[in-house]
Amino acid sequence: MNISSSSVFRKRVRFDRAAEFLATCASGDTEEAKMMLEEAKEMVHEDGVADLINCSNADGITALHQACIDGSLEIVTFLLEHGAKVNQVDSEGWTALHAASSCGHPDIAEYLLQNGACLSAVNCDGEVPLDLAIDETTESLLQDYSQKMGVDLEAAKRLEEEQIMKDARVWLAEGPPDNVHHPRTGATPLHVAAAKGYIEALKILCQCGLDVSATDHDGWTPLHAAAHWGQEEACRILAEQLCNMQARSNAGLTPFEVADESVEGLLEELSQKQDNVRDI
């Protein structure tokens, strides 16, 4: 297969084939899903299978996420047996295990754990799968696995913030690298710190000269993230750094339009303060 035809296939995977595969898996049709994977393998070898089986919708939800939400152990098994990434995250940092736990599917949660699911994965709200368990069976299962594997879940929650702090201090002294965007999501450390309320890290990152209005692959700025997850202090810091409070995402939404209701009034106040500063 030549390079151009491979490129065309990859583009199709991202759009129509991705949507078709997600719908096929959601319907429970493993035979059709298998045929689609075989077609992908024939066209671009194993890379095509990986692209297709791990494809996601606009919210980053993969077929594996959806199967965990729907409680379909059959589809979960099919996907993992064909190479689905068990720890792939959606746009809010949820893994399949987060989904299975929050939907009360202990059988699926256990199968995921047997296939390498990460107990200590932290989503954008700072939650590990155990935090989201809605039934005693799933909660006990995750607690037992955590104890057997010696996983310190509280330490895992702190690890990301500590790593960002470490990087920020180095960048403050030596300057940041040319590209600080995550290769998959396009998010910068500012996005992460803003979304999760890592205030001290956020302050240092701002001092490093990072672009406070940088966008991720969805066109979200750090303020979009801070506003969406209701991080009041992060909103204040970014506004004081004169971030673009009117920036529009790829969906045409400003931070005001994606904000949690708890910070809506604050954003209006901060916007007025920005206007006053610019008028001086």
Cβ 229 vs Cβ 207: under 8 Å: no
3-state secondary structure of 54: coil
Same topology, domains 17-151 and 157-279? Answer is yes
Where residue 254 falls (left for φ over 0; alpha for ψ -120 to 50; beta otherwise) is beta
* Distance (Å, whole) CA 1 – CA 48: 12
Residue boundaries of the structural domains of the chain: 17-151, 157-279
Choice between 15 and 39, residue whose per-residue pLDDT is larger: 39
H helices present in 54-152, as ranges: 63-70, 73-81, 96-102, 106-114, 129-132, 136-149
Cβ 226 vs Cβ 234: under 8 Å: yes
pLDDT digits (tens, 9 = 90+) for 182-236: 887 899 999 999 999 999 999 999 999 999 999 999 999 999 999 999 999 999 9
Question: HEC states along 155-187?
Answer: HHHHHHHHHHHHHHHHHHHHCCCCCCCCCCCCC
- The verdict on pTM exceeding 0.85 is no
Cβ 81 vs Cβ 89: under 8 Å: no
CATH of domain 157-279: 1.25.40.20
* Distance (Å, whole) CA 29 – CA 52: 15
Pick the CATH number of 17-151 from 3.40.50.1370, 3.40.50.12160, 1.25.40.20, 3.30.1490.20: 1.25.40.20
pLDDT digits (tens, 9 = 90+) for 35-62: 999 888 887 666 667 889 999 998 889 9
Which of 36-45, 132-141, 252-261 bottoms out in mean pLDDT, i.e. has the lowest? Answer: 36-45
- Structure tokens belonging to residue 155: 């330490």
